[in-house]
Amino acid sequence: MTKYVLSRWSVELHACCLYVAIRASMYGLPVSVKHFFALCELYNPDSNTFLTRHGELGLALHEMHKISGLPMGQMLYQEYFPSNHELSQLKDPKRTKSNVSLKQFASYLFRNLESNSGEAICELAPLTPSGVNSLMKKIDAHSYTISSHQGGFPARTKFKSFLWHATASIRPMTLLAGYLAIWLKKYVVPYQSGDALPLEVLYPAVQLAYKKELSLLPVMVANIHRGLR
């Protein structure tokens, strides 16, 4: 998948300074458990440094930048849930192209998980209404209507399954944002669960896909320190 993404969106990844970082994580790094535990024994959580016979050493940002290729940027990477107002703006055709529909990506991700893992990486064609109904029946999904005002939505608002967004062609940048969300979760801001992809990761991934340079390096280093503690 990573090889396909690097080829398909090479220009866009270079523009947001992520090509090198993604290329570096393509095959992963071998982990030595013995060396890892030896490193933990030298770690001082009070100062975020390692006490060695050569002196007190730390994870300097400029050195981590050389190793990982992650951008330091000027705008801090921040995870948060978009408000109902922000989500409603995604439907406005007058908004900028960076307002990619999160629901469209969610439907595409589900369809990818349902496909045969042995197939070649490709961009899936839109679903037909009968195909959507078939998937909804398979996962027992239903539309529903709220009876009272909830979370900013007026009474009698009808919510349909996100799978109906799969009837439209997915935008190339939505697909790139989806890959970046998975990549961020795996290499930069890992979570305990290996399967869950929280919504708050998707929004900054969309920003990255549209060339907004976010400061990922301090976040990764902070996650390393948190893991060592």
Among the ranges 92-96, 159-163, 207-211, 214-218, which has the highest mean pLDDT value? Answer: 214-218
pLDDT value of residue 11: 92
Rounded-to-integer distance, Cα 105 and Cα 176, Å: 10
The string of pLDDT tens digits covering residues 170-214 is: 778 888 888 898 888 888 887 655 556 666 777 788 888 888 888
Residue type, 162: F
The string of pLDDT tens digits covering residues 52-88 is: 889 999 988 899 888 888 888 777 777 766 677 766 6
pTM as predicted = 0.68
Phi, psi of 97 (to 5 degrees): -65, -20
pLDDT value of residue 92: 64
For residue 135, which of 162, 158, 159, 175 has the smallest C-alpha distance?
162
Summary mean pLDDT of the chain: 79
pLDDT value of residue 209: 85
Q: Is the pLDDT of residue 39 over 60?
A: yes
For residue 172, which of 47, 3, 4 has the smallest C-alpha distance?
4
The ranges assigned to domains in the chain are 81-212
pLDDT value of residue 29: 72
pLDDT value of residue 102: 58
Q: Is the pLDDT of residue 31 over 90?
A: no
Among the ranges 24-33, 38-47, 151-160, which has the highest mean pLDDT value? Answer: 38-47
Rounded-to-integer distance, Cα 98 and Cα 94, Å: 11
Q: Is the pLDDT of residue 26 over 80?
A: yes
What band does 116 get if pLDDT is binned at 50, 70 and 90? Answer: very low
Q: Is the pLDDT of residue 113 over 80?
A: no
Residue type, 34: K
Higher-confidence residue of 205 and 165: namely 205
Q: What percent of the chain has pLDDT over 90?
A: 10
Hey, how many other C-beta atoms are within 10 angstroms of the C-beta on 86? 13
pLDDT value of residue 34: 93
Rounded-to-integer distance, Cα 155 and Cα 148, Å: 4
